[in-house]
Structure 1
């Protein structure tokens, strides 16, 4: 589904990514791990076309997409839950959900308001509230729901549970587990290894803009000390 090979990216004259490779197959959950500042968010931004790639290859559903614009990537079927949530603060919960809603892939059972509200009942309770009045956890639920309303082939979450209260983190993980059961392909950036080991099929670790380790959850258990050294948790 998604294939990234030898990805390089820079902000102006400052190169941040030097050799990042990862892959997400249909129905897989894959994690992108590493300490802060190692290039995880830049990798996601480069995949989405938000930060230009200066080298390497990105393919989605077999098509080369290096240089594609963010809106083109969304139309191809990638839904992004960005770092910091970035919900539309002056729109209501309902307006946030429908603002970018689409079923371009003609899914037989598309994500609708009713399905998102069933996944996150708090959003239905607050459907008329402005997004800026929600708690951080509720905004994260809204960001996930908004991405699902685009009916993506691949869902990407950057810092899925960072800064959230434990009860909200548990709710996000519960919902991601349900999405996996439904066959949703997911790429996750997060630091909660104990949960990620149970949820994800494969893990990729980057260090200073390079992929330095990859494997499944069994490999993660066997190489726990090595991975912990790179991830710093």
Structure 2
């Protein structure tokens, strides 16, 4: 579904990504792991076509989704192909209600949409309770639920989450992980960035480890568990 090969990218005169490669098949959950500042968020921004608006650009390599090259496409076109983003920092619309945040991005790609307001309310009952509240009135955990729901309302073929549970209370983190497990069980393809390695290893099919803008390792959870030296070297765990 998604294939990234030898991706290089940066901002201004600074090259952040040197050689990133990863692939995600239909229904797979893949994590992008690495310490802070190693290029994970820049990789996601490059895939979603967001770099030009941030003073950055793709310098080389190839990104392809379902047979369509992504380089040079604007973000809205990439979204129309079926990629849905939950960005770092959530970035909900503060002056729109919860319901307006969700309907603002709603799209039906192929026939009847899988993700509708009733489906989001069932996934996140707390959002239905606060459907009339503004985005700015929500807690951090509620905003993250809203950011996930908003991305799902685009009915994506691949969901990308940048720092899925960063800064959330333990109970909220557990709820988010449970939701991600449900999405996986229902066949949702996911690219996930998160610092909770134990939870990521329980959820994901495969992992990609990056260091200084390069892919340095990829493999299954079993393979990652069997290589403590790799975790200590690149993840400090």
Q: TM-score range by the shorter chain?
A: over 0.9
Shift of 1:66: 1.1
Q: Is the 8 A contact 1:77 1:105 kept in 2?
A: no
What is the match of residue 29 of structure 1? 29
Of 97, 106, 109, which aligns to 1:104? 109
Structure 2 residue ranges without an equivalent (≥5): 52-56
User: What secondary structure, in the 3-state scheme, does the structure 1 residue paired with 2:179 have?
Assistant: helix
Correspondence 1:208 to 2:202: no
Q: Could you tell me how far apart the structure 1 residues matched to 2:24 and 2:110 are?
A: 19
What is the match of residue 12 of structure 1? 12
Q: Could you tell me how far apart the structure 2 residues matched to 1:199 and 1:224 are?
A: 19
Shift of 1:104: 1.9
Q: Is the 8 A contact 2:102 2:146 kept in 1?
A: yes
Residue by residue over 1:84-130, the C-alpha shift from the partner in whole angstroms, topping out at 9 and shown as x without a partner, is: 00000000000000001001233x45100000010000000000000
Correspondence 1:89 to 2:88: no
TM-score, normalisation: structure 2: 0.96
Structure 1 stretches of 4+ moved >6 Å: none
Of 196, 199, 204, which aligns to 1:192? 196
Q: Could you tell me how far apart the structure 2 residues matched to 1:47 and 1:22 are?
A: 11
Correspondence 1:43 to 2:47: no
Shift of 1:224: 2.6
Of 50, 66, 69, which aligns to 1:61? 66
Shift of 1:228: 3.1
What is the match of residue 218 of structure 1? 222
Shift of 1:43: 0.2
Query: Which deviates the most, 143-152 or 216-225?
Result: 216-225
Structure 1 residue ranges without an equivalent (≥5): none
Shift of 1:223: 1.1
C-alpha change, 1:80 and 1:226, in structure 2 (3 Å) is same
TM-score, normalisation: structure 1: 0.98
